[in-house]
Amino acid sequence: MKHEMHIGQLICEKLAENGHSISWLAKKVYCDRSNLRKMLKNNNIHCDLLLRISTVLNYDFFAHYSSQLNSK
C-alpha cells in the first residue's frame, strides 16, 4: 500500500504553524530531540508516538490515514 503523504513533514508543518520547535515537541513527548528529528524525516511514525504528538499538538494526525482509507 503506497502512502502519498509524509507524516513527519505534516508534523513539522503543524509545529511551524503553531510556532513550536522540534526541541519543544521532544520535551513534551518525552523523546530525545535528535531521535525525534530522525523519526520526523521518515514517512512512518510508530502509533504510540503519533498519539502522543497528536495529543500535544491537539491535532488528529490519524485522520490523514483514515481519509486515505475512505477515498479508496
The structural domains of the chain, with segments of one domain joined by +, span 7-67
Q: For 24-27, which contacts have Cβ atoms below 8 Å and span 24 or more sequence positions?
A: 25/53, 25/56, 25/57
The CATH label, of 3.30.300.130, 1.10.1510.10, 1.10.1420.10, 1.10.260.40, for the domain at 7-67 is 1.10.260.40
Q: List the pLDDT tens digit at each of the 72 positions of the chain.
A: 455 678 999 999 999 999 999 999 999 999 999 999 999 998 889 999 999 999 999 999 999 888 777 766
Question: Could you tell me the pTM of the whole model?
Answer: 0.85
Q: Rounded to whole angstroms, how far apart are CA atoms 65 and 21?
A: 24
Q: Rounded to whole angstroms, how far apart are CA atoms 12 and 25?
A: 10
